[in-house]
Amino acid sequence: MRRVFWSLILFAFCFALSNCSGKPGADANGANANAVQLRSFADITDPAAALAEGNKLLDENDTENAIEAYKRAVELDPKLGEAYFKMGVAYSLLEIEAKHSGTSERLPGDPIPKEEAKEKSNSVKMFEKAVEIYKEQIAASPDDAAAYYTLGRAYNKLNKDKESEDALEKAVKLKPDDSDYQTELGSIRIKLAKYHEAITALKKAVELDADNAEAAELLEDAEAGAKRVDYVSKPDNTKANANANANANANVDAANSNSATSTDTKKTPSNSKTSEPGDRPRIVKDEKNSPPPAPKRHQ
């Protein structure tokens, strides 16, 4: 009996051990399956080719490998501003994904430590680097519309809206027939609540490219915003009319009061009685002006 008891204990222990050892193995396999296999782009020797490969991977949502390709591009050409800008876009996508998926160590609502608050994210670092490079390019070539365009977009990502608008206005001025430039300008003006000005740019964008769905959608937003602004700034006609009517009534009452007072003070006594309907008018003689009576004829 004792031997059977110990056999059962040993069997239960072995079963539990097999389950515990099996679960980590499964988790490890799942982690390996979810891990991204980073590629090496060391074989690419042309920065433009590395940039193009990064753009291709970013469009395919292979964000991590896109970043690796962009890193290779700026390694080959440290002044390639577009690679820094696109790398900022890729990093921002990963940061947003980490925030929404809960993989961040800090829980929502937790205070941000001062050290962490001072530390810039990778996306901000890349956008700031892009701004630095494009400002240098513009200083060397003031008529570079593409540099102004991407500079404006980088400022937008950094929430420097006024600087973004200024850069995009210069890009549009240099290249007014580019639908993308007009669209980006309209977008930042919506962000600045300059709805009427945004409508002008977005209408131009749609005229230049009827298939520009983004411009058409932004145009609807701008027109809706303009209507809201116009409605709020419009005077309250109902209240104005009520005030005007009240003032008019007050003026009429004052006029009637003044008229009644004047009539009472200037009223003179009358020698004639008030005529009733059917009465003949009574003639009042003026004794001073009446002619002397005619002499009586002797009978």
147 within domain boundaries: no
Give yes or no: residues 51 and 136 share one domain.
Answer: yes
Choose among 153, 205, 213: nearest CA to 179. Answer: 205
Instruction: Provide the pLDDT for residue 173.
Output: 98
The band of 113, judged by pLDDT with boundaries at 50, 70 and 90, is low
Which one of 234, 259, 283 terminates a domain?
234
258 within domain boundaries: no
95 within domain boundaries: yes
Which one of 184, 202, 234 terminates a domain?
234
- Pairwise CA distance, residues 229 & 192, whole Å: 13
49 within domain boundaries: yes
Higher local confidence (pLDDT), 184 or 6: 184
Instruction: Provide the pLDDT for residue 211.
Output: 97
Give yes or no: residues 133 and 199 share one domain.
Answer: no
223 within domain boundaries: yes
The band of 232, judged by pLDDT with boundaries at 50, 70 and 90, is confident
Give yes or no: residues 166 and 135 share one domain.
Answer: no
- Pairwise CA distance, residues 185 & 27, whole Å: 49
- Pairwise CA distance, residues 171 & 42, whole Å: 35
Which one of 183, 206, 234 terminates a domain?
234
Question: Residues 153-163: what's their mean pLDDT?
Answer: 97
Choose among 148, 127, 130: nearest CA to 138. Answer: 148
191 within domain boundaries: yes
- Pairwise CA distance, residues 252 & 259, whole Å: 11
The band of 100, judged by pLDDT with boundaries at 50, 70 and 90, is confident
Higher local confidence (pLDDT), 260 or 213: 213
Higher local confidence (pLDDT), 234 or 142: 142
- Pairwise CA distance, residues 46 & 80, whole Å: 12
256 within domain boundaries: no
Give yes or no: residues 164 and 136 share one domain.
Answer: no
48 within domain boundaries: yes
Give yes or no: residues 84 and 131 share one domain.
Answer: yes
Q: Give the chain's length.
A: 299
For residue 28, pLDDT beyond 90: no
For residue 40, pLDDT beyond 50: yes
Structural domain tally of the chain? 2
Give yes or no: residues 169 and 133 share one domain.
Answer: no
Give yes or no: residues 92 and 165 share one domain.
Answer: no
Give yes or no: residues 132 and 211 share one domain.
Answer: no
Higher local confidence (pLDDT), 35 or 171: 171
Question: Residues 139-154: what's their mean pLDDT?
Answer: 98
Residue 188 sits in a domain of what CATH number?
1.25.40.10
Give yes or no: residues 131 and 73 share one domain.
Answer: yes
3-state SS, the chain, equals CHHHHHHHHHHHHHHHHHHHHHHHHHHHHHHHHHCCCCCCCCCCCCHHHHHHHHHHHHHCCCHHHHHHHHHHHHHHCCCCHHHHHHHHHHHHHHHHHHHHHCCCCCCCCCCCCHHHHHCCCHHHHHHHHHHHHHHHHHHHCCCCHHHHHHHHHHHHHCCCHHHHHHHHHHHHHHCCCCHHHHHHHHHHHHHCCCHHHHHHHHHHHHHHCCCCHHHHHHHHHHHHHHHHHHHHHCCCHHHHHHHHHHHHHHHHHHHHHHHHHHHHHCCCCCCCCCCCCCCCCCCCCCCCCCCCCCCCCCC
Instruction: Provide the pLDDT for residue 243.
Output: 58
Give yes or no: residues 129 and 172 share one domain.
Answer: no
| Residue 203 φ then ψ, to 5° | -65, -40
Q: Residue for token digits 């490219």?
A: 209
Question: Residues 243-270: what's their mean pLDDT?
Answer: 52
Range of the domain at 205: 160-234
At residue 66, what is the residue type?
A
The band of 276, judged by pLDDT with boundaries at 50, 70 and 90, is very low
Give yes or no: residues 176 and 136 share one domain.
Answer: no
Give yes or no: residues 176 and 217 share one domain.
Answer: yes
